[in-house]
Amino acid sequence: MVKLTSPICSLDAGGTLADTITTQSWKGRTYMRKRPKPSNPNSPKQVSIRAMFAFLTKVWKDLPGSVQFGWEAPAAERNILPFNAFLQTNMLRWAVFKGVSRLYPPTEAQTPSVIVPGGIVTMGKGLNVTFNVTVLNSGWCGTVHRVSGIPDPAKFENCIGVLHITGTGMISFLDTPLEPNTYIYRIKSASEDGQFSMQMAQQIGTFP
């Protein structure tokens, strides 16, 4: 649940996203940060929020200057830094299960990557899941979803990680630690302007 005292893109936005990300204002600037002590750090929603927050924070520094420059206009409108505009826009999109975008605005007009199953092997206390990007298109990331037991569609609550897609070839995700069970993994790719793929690669693995 998103609890805000003002719209997240407004100058005086404040509140908490899924009890994990806090939006605050300081000296006229709005920013987002991790909430210091979540009440239940392992809830599915908080895992999903933290996974996306970590991905966006890490990937920003690797974005080309021309892409970062595209976030200066929305940043100026909100009186925040370009990085915070990038983070706010995408975390708000992710909270309603929309694809995140490296470009501004997120027009959802481009084509995501084509991804097919790779393999699953036991590694340490978990499973290493691989997928193959066969056609890059305009894809730039993939959200990894996991369920156990009865198959469930990929959704915000069962996302456990986000992978950066930079080209064709193998991408992998180490899911650890795990309890003994059978797990179903899916990956959902997003284009650089936030369009989610309709098709998903699926793999099933048993641990141990």
pLDDT tens, position by position, 109-139: 999 999 999 999 999 999 999 999 999 999 9
Name 18's Cβ contacts closer than 8 Å, sequence gap at least 6.
1, 2, 45, 46, 48, 49, 95
Of 10-14, 24-28, 156-160, least confident by mean pLDDT is 10-14
For each of the domains in the chain, give its residue range(s) and CATH number, in order of start. Answer: 2-95 (no CATH), 114-207 (2.60.40.10)
Q: Is the pLDDT of residue 27 over 90?
A: no
Per-residue model confidence as pLDDT tens digits over 72-101? 999 999 999 999 999 999 999 999 999 999
pLDDT at 11 over 70: no
Residue-averaged pLDDT of the chain:
89
Closest alpha carbon to 116 in 135, 103, 101, 99:
135
Greater confidence (51 vs 2) lies with 51
Give me the pLDDT at residue 1, please: 45
The pLDDT, as a whole number, for residue 2 is 46
**Residues in a beta bridge with 132:** 116, 170
State whether residue 61 is helix, strand or coil: coil
- Global pTM exceeds 0.75: yes
Task: Give the model's confidence band at 42: pLDDT under 50 very low, under 70 low, under 90 confident, else very high.
Answer: confident
Letter string b/e over residues 178-195, b meaning 16 or more CB atoms within 10 A of that residue's CB: beeeebbbbbbbbbbbbb
The residue behind tokens 């925040």 is: 80
